């Protein structure tokens, strides 16, 4: 039975790229399950399919996933490229940190890419963002599609990996991908001056091949990520700068809030953890606790 990977999904059709590079438009047959849970095929899934006609087929099975994201909905990703802009709109840390939590939860490698470098003159703005994520160990790359700054470094980090590009609408994901994918022109949109955010230009998730052998996913912009299914004790592990210190806390299962002997709070007081990152940790913790109360 032929096998391939879903590279795009639209209105119940799954576009499967075969091992020889052909693309088949497929429907799904039957109910797919992993560990007794019903499964909907996602872009990135490795599947088996039956050929039913010229360039047409039916997906018959879905292979186990090694990673999965819900927003954007995609499977089997190695790396998250979290895109944020320095201008139009200005850098917004909260949505970046939300996506970082979800990427960490799935065990993805992470690179933060800042766009529109050419719109600022003060280098300190870039250094401020790098300082926020220094303790977490995230690489931060400043780029400009107009000057070419940072694009070679992004290409190097994409080589040989399956990477998801995600960020708020208007931060320049599609414009950046247009520079990284010669011959492919993705639709781009402007930023609303009234709302300070972009119009959605990407309508669906799609995996795009790179000359380097890797793949990237263009995804719809997101405005909010919820922490569905997370427990309060899960959150600290999604902040690398907290995760590496948690073992030294006095109490197992420390939430790093008001517990005595908390190594994370000590690092915060010593300036080893950025206060904005910790503030967002507290915000996310409250959201998780409120969701648990609603659940029960």
pLDDT digits (tens, 9 = 90+) for 110-144: 999 999 999 998 899 999 999 999 999 999 999 99
Tokens of 144: 């400009």
pLDDT at 186: 52
Kindly tell me if the per-residue pLDDT of 188 is higher than 70. Answer: no
How far is Cα 290 from Cα 296, in angstroms, rounded to an integer? Answer: 10
Cα 258–chain centre separation: 31
Q: With bands split at pLDDT 50, 70 and 90, how would you rate the model's confidence at 197?
A: very low
Q: How distant, in Å, are the alpha carbons of 118, 157, 206 from that of 44?
A: 34, 19, 9
73-75 and 68-70 beta bridge pairing? antiparallel
Q: Regarding predicted confidence, which is higher, 157 or 69? A: 157
Compute the average pLDDT of residues 83-94: 93
* Pick from 1-5, 222-226, 236-240, 261-265: least confident: 222-226
pLDDT at 36: 60
215-218 and 206-209 beta bridge pairing? antiparallel
How far is Cα 230 from Cα 71, in angstroms, rounded to an integer? Answer: 15
Omega before 72 within 30 of 0, i.e. cis: yes
* Of 160, 165, 172, nearest in space to 211 by CA: 160
Compute the average pLDDT of residues 44-48: 95
pTM: 0.84
How far is Cα 40 from Cα 30, in angstroms, rounded to an integer? Answer: 11
Contact between 188 and 177 under an 8 Å Cβ cutoff? The reply is no
pLDDT at 192: 38
Tokens of 289: 């606790």
Kindly tell me if the per-residue pLDDT of 296 is higher than 50. Answer: yes
Helix axes 123-134, 275-295, angle to 10 degrees: 50
Q: What is the pLDDT of residues 205-253, one digit of tens each?
A: 889 899 888 999 876 645 457 788 899 999 999 999 999 999 999 999 9
CB atoms within 10 A of CB 153: 15
Kindly tell me if the per-residue pLDDT of 33 is higher than 80. Answer: no
Cα 70–chain centre separation: 10
- Average pLDDT of every residue of the chain: 87
Kindly tell me if the per-residue pLDDT of 195 is higher than 60. Answer: no
Kindly tell me if the per-residue pLDDT of 86 is higher than 90. Answer: yes
Partners of residue 48 on adjacent β-strands: 3, 61
Residue 277 three-state SS: helix
* Of 213, 216, 257, 253, nearest in space to 237 by CA: 253
């Amino acid at each position: 039975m032929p096998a391939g990977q879903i590279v795009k999904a639209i209105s119940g059709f799954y576009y499967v790229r075969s091992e020889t590079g052909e693309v088949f438009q497929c429907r799904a047959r039957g109910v797919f399950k992993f560990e007794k849970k019903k499964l909907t095929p996602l872009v990135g899934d490795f599947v088996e399919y039956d050929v039913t006609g010229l360039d047409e087929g039916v997906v018959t099975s879905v292979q186990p996933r090694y990673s999965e994201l819900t927003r954007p909905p995609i499977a089997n990703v190695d790396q998250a490229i979290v895109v944020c802009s320095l201008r139009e709109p200005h850098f917004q840390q909260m949505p970046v940190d939300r996506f970082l939590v979800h990427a960490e939860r799935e065990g993805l490698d992470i690179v933060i890419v800042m766009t529109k470098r050419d719109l600022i003159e003060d280098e300190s703005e870039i250094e401020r963002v790098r300082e926020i994520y220094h303790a977490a160990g995230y690489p931060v790359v400043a780029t400009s599609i107009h000057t070419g700054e940072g694009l070679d470094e992004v290409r190097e980090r994409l080589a040989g990996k399956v990477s998801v590009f995600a960020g708020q609408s208007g931060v320049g994901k599609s414009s950046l991908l247009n520079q990284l994918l010669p011959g492919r022109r993705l639709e781009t949109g402007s930023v609303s001056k009234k709302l300070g955010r972009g119009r959605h230009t990407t309508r669906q998730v799609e995996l795009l091949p790179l000359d380097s052998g890797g793949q990237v996913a263009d995804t719809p912009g997101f405005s909010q990520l919820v922490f569905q299914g997370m427990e309060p004790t899960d959150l600290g592990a999604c902040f690398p700068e907290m995760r590496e210190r948690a073992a030294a806390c006095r109490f197992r299962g420390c939430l790093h809030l008001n517990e005595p002997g908390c190594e994370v709070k000590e690092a915060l007081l010593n300036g080893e953890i950025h206060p904005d990152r910790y503030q967002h940790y507290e915000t996310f913790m409250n959201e998780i606790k409120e969701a648990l109360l609603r659940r029960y």
